[in-house]
Amino acid sequence: MSATTPAVRPPSVELDVDQEIVAQFRSGDRDAFAKLVQKYQSRVLTLATRILDNRSEAEDVAQDIFVKVFQSLHEFRGASRFSTWLYRITVNHCLNYIRRRTRQQQTLVAAEPEEWMQESPTSNPHRTLEQKERWALVQAKLQVLSPEYRTILLLRDFEGLSYEEIADVLQLESGTVKSRLHRARTELKALLEPYLAGEG
Amino acid sequence: MDCQTVQHNLSAYLDHDVPLFTRQLLDEHFTRCPQCRCELTRFQTMATWVRSFPALDPSSTFLEQVCERVEHLPSGSPTPLFRRLVGALPLQAAAALVVAVSAALLWQMTPSLWHRQELQNPAPTWIEPWTSRDSAPTPLMAPPPFDVPLEESFQVPAPLVQAPPQRPLFTSYEESGRMARDVATIPTMAGLPTEARVGEVSLFPSVVLRAADPVQAAQQIWEIVPQMGGALLQSQGMVTPAGYASRGPVKVTLTLGAERYQALLEAIRQLPGTQLTEERMTFISRELRPTPGGSLRHLDYAQTSMTPQMTLVITILPR
């Protein structure tokens, strides 16, 4: 088993950079907003795609998220990291979207399980078929979990957020994050058990 | 450490969120338990799979579309005016602004509330001679009705001291005169000057009980009072360890609608092991002096007479 580098890891220096960009925006620099979009668009889109399990819907939702960010950026006080604040908006938007989505649409999504796998031309072309099948498998099993469990698992294992940051994003106590994450992992492991056994 | 405890800590172990001592215990367990070690490996594999999801790039027009939507936002401003104003201020200043706006709105609403209150409880139109524009005394109006009907239908036994039931805390001299026809001692007790046109009488009842366990009796009264719309103000007494009967006196101070006073006494009489031994009524009276704000006093008069509230002190002595 080879340890894979996390897809996104926000370095600590981002804190100051983000605050500087936000300050530029608040002083009237519209280009600063474009900088934020460019910096975080991939991260927001990826998380939204994992939660929603639909690439095209996720792209629309990601646009909504950045419009919301534009409207609310004046309210951002820097009490938490910008990325944490952005994750909070992203998660809330995605969960609200799921609640609104009709059952018919969900069936449509289930009929296209591999749509989310369409990578950009810039991504690694040497990915093996086995890897892609595994992503599809994990993504499909993630969708069996409740949106709340799926989100907390993605925030921790995919985005690499700490318990405290997840608590900040989801507005939960740190202890609740810990127990909910344990339950989410246990559920996902049960779903993946046959495949994990093959790995072991 | 048993396997069940280990399984419960696997997620936290994976996140390096267990204390060092627990981690050592878990490590030790993994070396000798292949089943738990296998379980840990599966958790690690699963986390690796989730972590290995590729990052997705948005379409090439994503930024352009977002910027276009932002440009076409209604009103051309990122946020509504009020939110922009608040957002531009420091937190303390924003809080102060919100408080100031709320106070202004409340101030604006208050006269209409007063007006509505006056319509519901019209104040006596009688104007005291000293506040009247002309020197001619205005005829007295009849006081508002004080006889609030009791909701309880049971018969109320006569109190030890014959105080008039259903009387408000504040009343007028004329009313106290009417009370005097029922209880002849009241004018003397209240000490109202006969020449006074208007006076106030405050009734402060106090009750003495005897109970086998004063604390328990007080607790029973605590439960009764809120059910009658009253509220407890204070309890004083000896702290008794659980399981022991209290021997010291307890004093309970409460506030209650005057019309519920007799009902409360009746409820207290029915408490097991409790005996009402003394009931006292203190009258405090004063003559109303002329004030520039005569009309405001009329408003108070109307309000207090419609919602009489009394303070009652209950002393519970051990038997």
Structure tokens, B54: 């590729």
Is A67–B70 a contact, with Cβ atoms under 8 angstroms apart? yes
Please tell me the predicted confidence (pLDDT) of residue B299: 34
Asked if residue A160 lies in contact with residue B14, where contact means CB atoms within 8 angstroms, the answer is no
**Cβ–Cβ < 8 Å for B234, B250:** no
Contacts of A193 in chain B (CB under 8 A): 42
Cα–Cα distance measured from residue B229 to residue B218, given in angstroms and rounded to the nearest whole number: 17
SS3 B276: strand
> Would the CB atoms of A46 and B56 count as touching at under 8 Å?
yes
Average pLDDT over residues B251-278: 86
B-proximal residues of A, 132-151, CB under 8 Å: 134-135, 138-139, 142
Contact A4 B42 (CB under 8 A): no
Residue to test with chain B: of A163, A174, A182, A192, most B Cβ within 10 A: A182
Q: How far is CA A56 from the centre of its chain?
A: 15
pLDDT of residue B106: 61
Give residue-wise pLDDT tens across range B1-28.
Answer: 788 888 888 888 988 888 888 888 999 9
Instruction: Show Cβ contacts of residue B87 under 8 Å, excluding neighbours closer than 6 positions.
Output: A74, A75, B79, B94
Q: What is the pLDDT of residue B243?
A: 59
Residues 156-195 of A with CB under 8 A from B: 156-158, 160, 163, 178, 181-182, 185-186, 188-189, 192-193
Interval B94-135: pLDDT, tens: 667 667 767 666 655 554 444 444 445 444 444 443 333 444
Of B195 and B210, the structure prediction assigns the larger pLDDT to B210
* Domain, as residue range, for B34: 3-46
pLDDT of residue A121: 46
Whether A166 contacts A155, CB under 8 Å: yes
Q: Do B63 and A1 touch (CB under 8 A)?
A: no
How far away is chain A from the Cα of B43, in angstroms, using its nearest Cα?
7
CATH value at residue A123: 1.10.1740.10
Owning domain of residue A90: 14-199
Q: Is pLDDT at B83 greater than 70 in this prediction?
A: no
Decide: helix, strand or coil at residue B315.
strand
Between the alpha carbon of residue B149 and those of residues B118, B153, B259, the distances in Å are 22, 10, 8
Q: Which of A4, A63, A127 sits opposite B51 (nearest CB)?
A: A4
A45-92 pLDDT tens trace = 999 999 998 888 899 999 999 999 988 888 787 778 888 889 999 999
Shortest alpha-carbon distance between residue A105 and chain B (Å): 22
Q: Enter the tokens of residue A82.
A: 């910008």
Asked if residue A34 has pLDDT above 70, the reply is yes
**Mean local confidence (pLDDT), A27-44:** 88
B262 has pLDDT over 70: yes
Q: Cα B26 to chain center, whole Å?
A: 52
Closest CB to B46: pick one of A43, A163, A192: A192
| Chain A positions in Cβ-Cβ contact with residue B88 (cut-off 8 Å) | 74
The answer as to whether A95 is a domain residue is yes
Residue A44 pLDDT more than 90? yes
**Minimum-distance CB partner of B52 among A4, A119, A163:** A4
ipTM, 2 dp: 0.78
| pLDDT on residue A61 | 92
Does residue B33 sit within a domain? yes
**pLDDT number for residue B56:** 86
Residue B171 forms part of a structural domain: yes
pLDDT tens digits along A131-157: 788 888 888 899 899 999 999 999 999
Judged on CB neighbours under 10 Å (0-12, 13-18, 19+), A45 is: buried
Residues of chain A contacting residue B47, judged by C-beta atoms under 8 Å apart: 157, 185
Residue B158: pLDDT above 90? no
How far apart are the C-alpha atoms of B176 and B123, rounded to whole Å? Answer: 18
The verdict on residue B188 lying in a domain is yes
Report DSSP letters for chain A, one per residue.
--PPPPS----TTHHHHHHHHHHHHHTT-HHHHHHHHHHHHHHHHHHHHHHHS-HHHHHHHHHHHHHHHHHHGGG--SSS-HHHHHHHHHHHHHHHHHHHS-HHHHHHHHT-TTGGG---TTS-TT--HHHHHHHHHHHHHHTTS-HHHHHHHIIIIIS---HHHHHHHHT--HHHHHHHHHHHHHHHHHHHHHHHHHH-
What pLDDT does B247 receive? Answer: 66
A100-114, A141-155, B161-175: which range is least confident on average? B161-175
Distance from CA of B107 to the nearest CA of A (A): 29
Find the farthest-apart pair of alpha carbons in chain B and give their distance in angstroms, rounded.
107
Using CA coordinates, name the residue in chain B closest to A9: B51
Instruction: Provide the domain count of chain B.
Output: 2
Per-residue pLDDT tens for B206-253?
Answer: 899 998 888 888 888 988 898 888 888 888 876 666 556 666 788 999
Which chain B residue is nearest to residue A118, measuring alpha carbons? B56
Give the model's pLDDT for residue A110.
46
Which residue has better confidence, A26 or B299?
A26
B74 vs A195, more confident: A195
Residues 6+ apart with CB under 8 A from A118: A55
Same domain, B27 and B166: no
Question: Residue B280 — pLDDT band, cuts 50, 70, 90?
Answer: confident
Alpha-carbon distance A102 to nearest alpha carbon in chain B (angstroms):
25
Contact: A188, B46; criterion CB under 8 Å: yes
What integer pLDDT is reported at residue A195 of this predicted model? 85
Q: Residue A158 is nearest to which of B45, B50, B70, comparing CB atoms?
A: B50
Q: Which of B2-11, B179-188, B296-305 bottoms out in mean pLDDT, i.e. has the lowest?
A: B296-305
Q: Is there a contact between B175 and B143 (Cβ–Cβ < 8 Å)?
A: yes
Is pTM beyond 0.80? Reply is no
- Residue B201: inside a domain, yes or no? yes
Supply the pLDDT for residue B229: 84
Q: How far apart are CA B268 and CA B262, in angstroms?
A: 10
Task: Give domain status of residue A141, yes or no.
Answer: yes
> Which residues in chain B have their CB less than 8 angstroms from residue A156's CB?
15
Q: What average pLDDT does range A24-49 have in this prediction? A: 89
| Residue A4 resides in a domain | no
Residue A6: inside a domain: no
Which of chain B's residues have a Cβ under 8 Å away from the Cβ of A45?
56-58, 62
For the cut 70, the answer to whether the pLDDT of residue B315 exceeds it is: yes
Note whether residue A189 is domain-resident.
yes
Number of domains in chain A: 1
Query: CB within 8 A of B43, min separation 6: which ones?
Result: A185, A189, B10, B11, B14
Domain membership of residue B132 (yes or no) is: no
Average pLDDT for chain B: 67
Instruction: Quote the pLDDT of residue B123.
Output: 42
